[in-house]
Amino acid sequence: MHIFLFCRYTCIKEFRGDILKRQCIVWMLIMTLILSPAVMSAASEAEKPAEQGQNTAEHQVAAEVAAPHALLMEVSTGTVLMGKAEDEKLHPASVTKIMTLLLILEAIEDGKIALSDMVSVSEHASSMGGSQVYLEPFEQQTVETMIKCIAVASANDACVAMAEHISGSEGDFVRRMNERAAELGMTNTHFVNCCGLDDDEHLTTARDVALMSRELLLNHPQIHEYCTIWMENIIHTTAKGSFEFGLTNTNKLIKQYEYATGLKTGYTSVAGFCVSASAKKDNIELIAVIMGGADSKSRFQDAVTLLNSGFACCSLYQDENRVALSDLPVSGGVEDRVPLKYAGDFSYVSTDGSNLSDMKRSLELPEEIPAPVEEGSTVGRVAYILNGKEIGESPILAAGNVEKAGYGDYIQRAFHMFLL
């Protein structure tokens, strides 16, 4: 605006001719237009980063979610696609059982227990209230049946029985739950029991629920076998005899949403209606966490809203046409060359709407490597570049051993050359 005033003063003072006056007026109009709020605002809008559009879309999705707390996460990368009051501490109800299931499957993986092991039910476990499968004191069920009771019917009695079977007592098992939560970076979580019964100190957040859900899905995908059971009968065998008991999945998305793969629901009058819903479409896996929902139907609607928005913005790149690798020259070895192989497949999930057809690859290998060469050692890589930024790599490994050549090897090689 100072420029405008200076120009106006200078023009009127120094130029008296009609032509120059008209030129001055034109100049003033131009400066006024340039400095006008509308033009400045338009210029400012043009300079805003593209991600603001993404943030706007995120806010729109958050507004469509009725629950006060929610989070959407892409599983393979752990990228948070949407959050709504996701770090506020809350009562999780039976969503707690995700950690219980994680520790059970880790105990199986570590060889501490087996699916076929028999679990005895204590009086303490049998006395659990809330959702249960009515296990009786001294009744025995296999570990696998207990997993089904927890994953499908959200059974508190089965949770406590498994906690005691693994750790000796529920208290010791809960201590391990909290240790594992800390290892996973669940900084706003504290467990008091293994099944989610309300307690003033039993708290977590939507973000932390997503973290433990991701750990379970990534490292124990067999959980889907249990979480997707809709109905199944178990056999109670007690002193009173044997009888069937029906399990029905508490997660209605298993029937209502075609991409649903799990994971766990929860409800108490204090916690409200909660769910950690997992789904997979076109090899993209998502977790939608809803906490504090007003009713059962709305929590599932909210989860579907999040999952659909996530699938709409995520896309998968898989390198299916890899460059054929030639043998790499070796210096000073008993062999002149070593075969190569890729360390594994490469895939990348975009969560920002990028055009993955623009992906570029850069093969990086030395002209030769010195002996000795150990099979499986990294000798190079393929870098993947999208929009000028490296987004990942695939290591290239030696596919064989090459020992370092000794004096005798050189003599033998020279002798062969002489014969040729």
Are the C-beta atoms of residues 247 and 135 closer than 8 Å to each other? no
Are the C-beta atoms of residues 200 and 90 closer than 8 Å to each other? no
φ/ψ of 166, rounded to 5, equals -85, -45
Nearest 5 degrees, angle CA 328-CA 334-CA 338?
20
Please tell me the distance from the alpha carbon of residue 259 to that of residue 303, in angstroms, as a whole number.
Answer: 12
97 in catalytic set: yes
Are the C-beta atoms of residues 96 and 196 closer than 8 Å to each other? yes
Q: What stretch of H or E contains 23?
A: helix 18-35
Alpha helices in 184-259 (DSSP H): 206-219, 223-227, 253-256
Residue 182 half-sphere exposure toward CB, CA atoms < 13 A? 6
Fill in the amino acid letter for 237: T
Cis peptide before 90 (omega within 30 of 0): no
Please tell me the distance from the alpha carbon of residue 396 to that of residue 344, in angstroms, as a whole number.
Answer: 9
Q: Which residues contact 407 (CB under 8 A, 6 or more apart)?
A: none
255 in catalytic set: no
- Among 147, 146, 144, 124, smallest CA distance to 136 is for 124
Q: Which of 97, 167, 213, 309 is catalytic?
A: 97
Fill in the amino acid letter for 120: S
94 in catalytic set: yes
Sign, CA torsion 83/86/92/96: positive
Q: Which of 84, 131, 148, 154 is catalytic?
A: 154
> Per the structure block, which two tokens stand in for 409?
């090897």
The distance in angstroms from the start CA to the end CA of the chain is 89
> Per the structure block, which two tokens stand in for 163?
């906690």
Four-CA torsion 324, 330, 334, 337, nearest 10 degrees:
20
Please tell me the distance from the alpha carbon of residue 208 to that of residue 300, in angstroms, as a whole number.
Answer: 19
- Among 173, 200, 54, smallest CA distance to 103 is for 173
Name the residues annotated as catalytic: 94, 97, 154
